[in-house]
């Protein structure tokens, strides 16, 4: 249905049918927040919501792009020989960023494309709509230009786009979670070595509910880079005392000793979040291996508490949602992604879903003044060519 409608939009614009269609998912991070750029463990999964593209080859070096999500921007056009980013920061910058990196790396891009895109991920909501678009473009370019990119190559190209072109110091988690997405499994990723393993995520009688604060979070505008820099500062200070490369090389048992170094109290809080969160990821996989979903839920709560009080990236909207979710019977809830708005996740008994959404929704609207949105998260596969 969705593809039919995208195909007819494509035909209206380009007077021909597309020759191929693609999908790349978004992601939720189950646990391991603000850990990827500190060289530790994260535990995200791809979801069945994501971004679609229908595409055809052009005879020249022009790209013509249209997004159903940004209809007012109309058709955006640029040439392969001229790829400067648009200062207004609109969505095609991600496409230009991926192309620029491929060219920089020596891949041959011999012709342009016509592309129509649509995403059913809310933008700027912490479900990685931008990484989804980056990985979608990697998949499209890989197919049309026969680049032979592996999922890891695609993840690294997506990350570089974010860091070098969009200007966000983000880590590798989102792009990896999407590139390596696998139905029914979460990905335990070591962000330092880039080794990973799939962990089947059996939710038993529970469902993973995504709760959107509907407060937009712009990564580049947010305090994301500030947290990144705080971690770099504390790392440099600790390197004088410990033989470490990343903050996640340290253990929770070392915190008491580190506190004697009299670091800035704010930096000490950031550090405590990073070290304890990294250990919560390992514990999570152990609980899940033992089918202990209740134990896993408690770790989600501890993660949110740490992100609220030590890392200070939540805010009234996320805290209200998470606390309302626990009051309404969730066995675990936490913000997911960068924070400062965006989405939270919660584990809720399937039979109690309707009353849960009603209760949390009403409390949120009464407290914050506008409504939250709720989605059922299904764990899905990575980027694919659909037809």
* DSSP type of residue 166: I
Least distance from ligand GLA to the Cβ atom of residue 296, Å: 18
Helices 316-327 + 353-368 axis angle, to 10: 140
Beta-carbon contacts of 154 under 8 Å, excluding residues fewer than 6 positions away, are 135, 138, 139, 142, 175, 179, 383
Beta-carbon contacts of 7 under 8 Å, excluding residues fewer than 6 positions away, are 17, 18, 21, 54
Cα of first residue to Cα of last residue in the chain, in angstroms, is 14
Give CA–CA dist 246/257, Å, rounded.
Answer: 18
Residue number, 170 or 306, with CB nearest to ligand GLA = 170
Least distance from ligand GLA to the Cβ atom of residue 75, Å: 29
Task: Give CA torsion, residues 377, 378, 381, 382, to 10 deg.
Answer: 0
Least distance from ligand GLA to the Cβ atom of residue 100, Å: 19
Among 208, 217, 203, 184, smallest CA distance to 325 is for: 208
Least distance from ligand GLA to the Cβ atom of residue 181, Å: 15
Residue number, 247 or 338, with CB nearest to ligand GLA = 338
Residue number, 31 or 208, with CB nearest to ligand GLA = 31
* DSSP type of residue 163: I
Residue number, 220 or 368, with CB nearest to ligand GLA = 220
Residue number, 27 or 363, with CB nearest to ligand GLA = 27
CB 151: neighbour CB atoms within 10 A?
18
C-beta separation of 300 from 347 below 8 A: yes
What is the torsional sign of CA 152, 231, 226, 270?
Answer: positive
Q: List, by residue number, the catalytic residues.
A: 174
Least distance from ligand GLA to the Cβ atom of residue 280, Å: 13
Least distance from ligand GLA to the Cβ atom of residue 163, Å: 10
Residue number, 33 or 310, with CB nearest to ligand GLA = 33
| Burial group, residue 269, by CB count within 10 angstroms (0-12, 13-18, 19+) | middle
Q: By the criterion CB under 6 A, which residues form the site for ligand GLA?
A: 29, 33-34, 36-37, 170-171, 173-174, 337-338
Among 160, 138, 163, smallest CA distance to 149 is for: 138
């Amino acid at each position: 249905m969705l593809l039919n409608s995208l195909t007819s939009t494509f035909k209206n614009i380009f007077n021909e049918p597309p020759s191929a269609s693609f999908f790349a998912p978004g992601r939720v991070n189950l646990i391991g927040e603000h850990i990827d750029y500190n060289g530790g463990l994260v535990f995200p999964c791809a979801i069945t919501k994501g971004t679609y593209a229908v595409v055809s080859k052009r005879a020249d070096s022009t790209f013509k792009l249209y997004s159903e999500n940004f209809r007012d921007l109309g058709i955006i056009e640029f040439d392969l020989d001229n790829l400067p980013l648009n200062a207004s920061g609109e969505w095609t910058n991600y496409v230009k960023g991926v192309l620029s990196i491929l060219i920089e790396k020596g891949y041959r891009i011999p012709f342009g494309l016509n592309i129509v895109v649509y995403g059913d991920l809310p933008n700027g909501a912490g479900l990685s709509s931008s990484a989804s678009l980056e990985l979608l473009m990697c998949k499209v370019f890989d197919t049309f230009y026969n680049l032979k990119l592996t999922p890891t190559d695609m993840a690294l190209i997506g990350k570089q786009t974010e860091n070098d072109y969009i200007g966000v110091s983000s880590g590798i988690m989102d792009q990896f979670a999407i590139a390596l997405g696998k139905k029914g499994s979460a990905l335990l990723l070591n962000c330092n070595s880039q080794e990973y393993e799939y962990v089947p995520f059996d939710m038993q009688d529970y469902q993973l509910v995504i709760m959107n604060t509907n407060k937009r979070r712009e990564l580049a505008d947010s305090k994301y880079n500030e947290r990144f820099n705080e971690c770099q500062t504390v790392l440099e200070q600790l390197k004088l005392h410990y033989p470490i490369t990343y903050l996640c090389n340290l253990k929770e048992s070392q915190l008491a000793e580190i506190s004697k170094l009299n670091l800035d109290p704010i930096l000490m809080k950031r550090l405590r979040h990073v070290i304890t969160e990294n250990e919560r990821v390992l514990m999570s996989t152990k609980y899940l291996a033992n089918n202990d979903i209740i134990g896993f839920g408690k770790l989600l709560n501890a993660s949110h508490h740490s992100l609220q009080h030590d890392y200070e990236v939540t805010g009234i909207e996320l805290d209200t949602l998470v606390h309302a979710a626990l009051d309404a019977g969730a066995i675990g809830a936490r913000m997911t992604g960068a924070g400062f708005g965006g989405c939270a996740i919660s584990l809720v008994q399937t039979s109690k879903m309707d009353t849960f959404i009603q209760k949390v929704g009403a409390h949120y609207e009464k407290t914050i003044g506008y409504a939250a949105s709720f989605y059922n998260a299904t764990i899905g596969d990575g980027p694919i060519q659909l037809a």
